[in-house]
Amino acid sequence: MSDNRNIISSENWVELYATLSNYILEYSSLDPIWIIDEDGNEVRTEEKQDEFIDIVDEVEAIMETVLIKESSNKIDQGDRKAMSNEIKTIMFGDFDKQTTETLSNIIDWELNEEGIEPCSYAFHIEVEYTTGEVNND
């Protein structure tokens, strides 16, 4: 049985789930979503950030039924066959307040360097790894 799902780039994957998740959060929330932090940045409240992460998980699960995310490390088919075990992905999205602030500052700085002033953004860290050794014979 063939897989008829469309392949999209990792960048488009992130943009799509972030846009859809933010839309769902904005239109389903009765309580305020945004506050101004001590640095003057507009950020989600802690409760709304938790809700956003939950929504992202659900949106990505739905996306996976119709789309395939292109691997960011561009492993070709020959390399995939040479791996003794499958590629797995682990995602980190629940950060404590200090880590969230640190990552937000890094993202803000990078965006400002590009001349971009975002209205909002979301982030998580995704790592692809193999459970076995890569055989390069």
Domain ranges in the chain are 6-130
Per DSSP, the three-state class of 28 is helix
For residue range 109-129, list pLDDT tens digits in order.
788 888 888 777 777 777 766
Scanning the structure block, which residue is given the tokens 């055989």? 135
How far, in Å, CA of 70 to CA of 12, rounded?
A: 9
Scanning the structure block, which residue is given the tokens 């040479």? 82
How far, in Å, CA of 113 to CA of 85, rounded?
A: 40
First to last CA, the chain: 30
For residue range 63-96, list pLDDT tens digits in order.
999 998 887 444 444 444 444 445 566 666 666 7
How far, in Å, CA of 53 to CA of 58, rounded?
A: 9
